Amino acid sequence: MSENKERQPTIDAWQVIAANADPYRAPELTDVRFRGEVYNYSGIKDGKVMTIPAIKELYMIDDQLYMRDARGTAWVIGLPCPEYEEKFPSALARVKEAATNNK
What percentage of the chain carries pLDDT values higher than 90?
A: 61
CA dist 95 and 103 (Å) reads 13
CA dist 42 and 83 (Å) reads 28
pLDDT value, residue 9: 97
pLDDT value, residue 60: 93
Q: How many CA atoms lie within 13 A of 8 on its CB side?
A: 19
pLDDT value, residue 84: 94
pLDDT value, residue 6: 58
Q: What is the mean pLDDT of each successive set of 10 residues along the chain, which is 103 residues long?
A: 65 89 72 92 95 91 93 95 94 88 67
Model confidence over 25-41: pLDDT tens digits?
776 677 788 999 999 99
CB contact at 8 A, 13 and 79: yes
